[in-house]
């Protein structure tokens, strides 16, 4: 195979800074650790931007509309300010789990499905380049060595987080008995561009087990780097706490309950602060913001700033989720709000609403509440319902008014932990991945049929509601795993795709005289 050394290509770092010195017309060479720090900021971390609509959010925004926490709304007339009818175009294919996720409702246009793949592999490539270049820049001074360790930790953390998303989108969920033989995603760990003109396939799909092993290794080394050179910057940069929390999540996905418990314990020794929602008396206060003591790490934008309104032409929160919260649970009235005019539920003050450049993400986010839930799950699955109950109670005391501790039995604790996880982490990018892993959980499998009602409006004639089409995602449905993007298969002709099926609606729903909202 012929290798082309990918030193640093000017285009990759366009607009980053003028710190790079030209080496030739095409190449530039970083001189210091500080130079590489600028590179990771510009091409490693996902940027935050102003988001007007979900479809313009950070890559992976569509993961918010796949699960059982969201539906569309039945309303006589669509009440949406969208300049572009995203419901019929961009959202339809994802929301109804279509064979071609980029296909619009009218079956006239097909958008690309490669944005997430391209974006994450591009940033993975940046981390690979930086990791290689760290060996070539000056580390003569003690501070330069410490800065290099911090940067190494950040690169490994980012690479692990990006691969965790990729393998959970484009491969089947981790099953300990089959992970070694299940196709994952390509592992790109080199700093150069591999290309052999005589081969149809440049990259092979590594097994799910191999991808997870790399993720675990990256996070472990990342932790060691931060231990030697702690992160002193804000939560917009990776840190030891963030790496330990993500590692505990990875072990849960792997059903490695023993290591998940150790990782969660290690994390909670570093960070255990919880935001007491009982103290949120300000009607303008939000649950998750840059000021929360719980936020450990965030990158990218808040994609849900203006969506899930509960209004016609948009999405709503399912009543199935809403009804899980007891009346004394502060999260119910904080996270959600009833849309005016109709009986439908929208997102409330979980995040700040409106059009602005967001300070926290609703997907690429890590916060301490997850640490308590990871610990509770690891203990529940390790036949320690007492400790699992203890960590659930610690979280709930900060969420529910006048809360009284509950001691769960071994028979009840798993369901309690999963329900609490759904309530606490809703609309943070967890639910879809959790449903996938619950389905293959060896100790306590859980599967369900999900139904999405797609509201059809006459967008050309006063935006009147016509009918609802109900689409079903069955247990063990192939649509739980996304197809490899078409552009990737066109380049790597020999790469094996993931099978998906054509999908139509099962039945229609018509609006009753006084009906509105979702029926779930």
How much is the pLDDT for 343?
77
Residue entry with tokens 């900060």: 398
DSSP-assigned letter for residue 47 = P
What is d(CA 243, CA 297) in angstroms, rounded to the nearest whole number? 10
Q: Calculate mean pLDDT across residues 499-509.
A: 96
Residues 246 and 357 placed together within one structural domain of the fold: no
Residue 454 belongs to domain with CATH number: 1.25.40.900
Contact 68/370 with Cβ under 8 angstroms? no
The answer to the question of residue 293 being in a domain is yes
Residues 71 and 166 placed together within one structural domain of the fold: no
Q: What is the pTM of this model?
A: 0.93
Q: What is the pLDDT of residues 238-263, one digit of tens each?
A: 999 999 999 999 999 999 999 999 99
Residues 228 and 281 placed together within one structural domain of the fold: no
How much is the pLDDT for 195?
73
Distances (CA, A) of 342 to 76, 87, 458, 470: 10, 19, 19, 21
Domain end: 233, 250, 267, which one?
250
The closest alpha carbon to 362, from 354, 352, 371, belongs to 352
Distances (CA, A) of 329 to 83, 333, 395, 402, 434: 36, 8, 12, 10, 23
The answer to the question of residue 517 being in a domain is no
The answer to the question of residue 230 being in a domain is yes
The answer to the question of residue 390 being in a domain is yes
Residue 222, classed as helix, strand or coil, is: helix
Residues 6+ apart with CB under 8 A from 273: 293, 294, 368
Residues 282 and 226 placed together within one structural domain of the fold: no
SS3 content of the chain, % helix, strand, coil (to 5): 40, 10, 50
Residues 186 and 87 placed together within one structural domain of the fold: no
Q: On the CB side of 89, how many CA atoms lie within 13 Å of its CA?
A: 11
Counting residues of the chain whose pLDDT is more than 70, the rounded percentage is 91
The closest alpha carbon to 12, from 44, 37, 43, 53, belongs to 43
Residues 358 and 462 placed together within one structural domain of the fold: yes
Residues 328 and 396 placed together within one structural domain of the fold: yes
What is d(CA 44, CA 158) in angstroms, rounded to the nearest whole number? 7
Q: Which domain holds residue 436?
A: 54-94+276-477+505-509
How much is the pLDDT for 30?
82
Q: How many domains does the chain have?
A: 2
Q: Which H or E run includes 208?
A: helix 208-228
The 3-state secondary structure of 245-288, one letter per residue: HHHHHHHHHCCCHHHHHHHHHHHHHHCCCCCCHHHCCCCCCCCC
Contacts of residues 486-491 at CB distance under 8 Å and 24 or more positions apart, as own/partner, are: 486/112, 486/113, 486/114, 487/112, 487/114, 487/118, 488/114, 488/117, 491/202
Q: What is the full DSSP assignment across 85-119?
A: -TIIIIIHHHHTT-SSTTB-TTS--B--S-HHHHH
Residues 243 and 178 placed together within one structural domain of the fold: yes
The closest alpha carbon to 494, from 172, 186, 165, belongs to 186
The answer to the question of residue 520 being in a domain is no
Q: What is the pLDDT of residues 221-236, one digit of tens each?
A: 999 999 999 999 999 9
The answer to the question of residue 100 being in a domain is no
Q: What is the pLDDT of residues 144-181, one digit of tens each?
A: 999 999 999 999 999 999 999 999 999 999 999 999 99
Q: What is the pLDDT of residues 456-474, one digit of tens each?
A: 999 888 889 999 999 999 9
Domain end: 250, 284, 319, which one?
250
How much is the pLDDT for 341?
57
Contact 48/301 with Cβ under 8 angstroms? yes
What is d(CA 454, CA 73) in angstroms, rounded to the nearest whole number? 8
Residue 15 belongs to domain with CATH number: 1.25.40.390
Confidence of residue 201 (pLDDT cuts 50, 70, 90): confident
Strand partners, 77: 464
Q: What is the pLDDT of residues 341-388, one digit of tens each?
A: 567 999 999 999 998 899 899 999 999 999 999 999 999 999 999 999
How much is the pLDDT for 338?
86
Q: Beta strand pairing status for 345-347 and 365-367?
A: unpaired
Residues 40 and 60 placed together within one structural domain of the fold: no
The answer to the question of residue 255 being in a domain is no
What is d(CA 151, CA 271) in angstroms, rounded to the nearest whole number? 22
Residues 362 and 455 placed together within one structural domain of the fold: yes
Helices (H), 426-469: 431-439
Confidence of residue 12 (pLDDT cuts 50, 70, 90): very low
The answer to the question of residue 222 being in a domain is yes
Residues 6+ apart with CB under 8 A from 335: 287, 347, 348, 349, 350, 426, 427
Residues 294 and 347 placed together within one structural domain of the fold: yes
Contact 42/13 with Cβ under 8 angstroms? yes
Confidence of residue 287 (pLDDT cuts 50, 70, 90): very high
What is d(CA 286, CA 291) in angstroms, rounded to the nearest whole number? 10
Check whether 107 has a pLDDT greater than 60: yes
Residues 391 and 337 placed together within one structural domain of the fold: yes
Distances (CA, A) of 337 to 261, 269, 370, 441, 478: 35, 35, 24, 34, 34
Check whether 481 has a pLDDT greater than 70: yes
What is d(CA 508, CA 454) in angstroms, rounded to the nearest whole number? 9
What is d(CA 369, CA 279) in angstroms, rounded to the nearest whole number? 17
Distances (CA, A) of 33 to 103, 131, 137, 237: 45, 11, 6, 16
Check whether 82 has a pLDDT greater than 80: no
Confidence of residue 19 (pLDDT cuts 50, 70, 90): very low
Residue 4, classed as helix, strand or coil, is: strand
Strand partners, 315: 72
């Amino acid at each position: 195979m012929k290798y082309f050394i990918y030193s640093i290509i000017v285009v990759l770092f366009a607009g980053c800074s003028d710190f790079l010195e030209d080496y030739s017309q095409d190449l530039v060479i970083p001189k210091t650790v500080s130079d590489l720090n600028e590179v990771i900021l510009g091409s490693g971390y996902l940027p935050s931007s102003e988001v007007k609509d979900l479809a313009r959010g950070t890559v992976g925004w569509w993961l918010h509309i796949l699960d059982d926490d969201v539906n569309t709304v039945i309303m006589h007339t669509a009440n949406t300010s969208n300049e572009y009818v995203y419901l019929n175009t961009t959202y339809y294919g994802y929301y109804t789990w279509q064979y071609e996720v980029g296909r619009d409702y009218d079956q006239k246009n097909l958008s690309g499905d490669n944005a997430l793949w391209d974006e994450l592999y591009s940033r993975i490539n940046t981390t690979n380049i930086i990791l290689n270049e760290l060996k070539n820049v000056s580390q003569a001074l003690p501070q330069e060595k410490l800065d290099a360790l911090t940067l190494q930790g950040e690169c490994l953390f980012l690479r692990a987080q990006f691969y965790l998303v990729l393998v959970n989108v484009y491969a089947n969920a981790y099953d300990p008995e089959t992970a070694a033989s299940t196709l994952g995603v390509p592992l790109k760990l080199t700093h150069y561009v591999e290309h052999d003109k005589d081969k149809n396939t440049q990259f092979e799909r590594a097994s799910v087990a191999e991808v997870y092993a790399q993720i675990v290794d990256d996070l472990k080394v990342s932790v060691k780097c931060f231990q030697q050179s702690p992160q002193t910057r804000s939560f917009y940069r990776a840190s030891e706490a963030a790496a330990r929390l993500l590692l505990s999540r990875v072990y849960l996905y792997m059903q490695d309950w023993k290591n998940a418990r150790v990782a969660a314990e290690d994390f909670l020794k570093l960070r255990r602060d919880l935001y007491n929602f009982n103290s949120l008396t300000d009607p303008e206060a939000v649950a998750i913001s840059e000021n929360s003591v719980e936020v450990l790490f965030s990158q990218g934008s808040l994609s849900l700033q203006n969506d899930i309104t509960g209004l016609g032409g948009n999405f709503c929160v399912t009543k199935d989720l809403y009804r899980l919260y007891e009346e004394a649970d502060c999260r119910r009235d904080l996270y959600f709000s009833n849309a005016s005019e109709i009986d439908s539920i929208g997102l409330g003050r979980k995040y700040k609403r409106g059009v602005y450049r967001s300070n926290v993400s609703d997907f690429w986010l890590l916060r301490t509440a997850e640490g308590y839930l990871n610990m509770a799950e690891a203990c529940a699955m390790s036949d320690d319902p007492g400790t699992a109950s203890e960590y659930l109670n610690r979280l709930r005391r900060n969420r529910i008014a006048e809360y009284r501790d509950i001691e769960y039995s071994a028979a009840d604790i798993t369901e309690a932990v999963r329900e609490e996880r759904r309530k606490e982490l809703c609309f943070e990018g967890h639910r879809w991945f959790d449903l996938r892993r619950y389905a293959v959980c060896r100790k306590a499998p859980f599967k369900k049929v999900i139904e999405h009602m797609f509201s059809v409006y006459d967008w050309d004639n006063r935006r009147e509601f016509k009918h609802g089409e109900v689409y079903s995602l069955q247990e063990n449905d192939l649509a739980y795993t996304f197809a490899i993007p078409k552009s990737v298969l066109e380049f790597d002709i020999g790469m094996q795709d993931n099978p998906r099926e054509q999908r139509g609606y099962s039945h229609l729903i018509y609006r009753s005289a006084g009906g509105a909202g979702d029926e779930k």
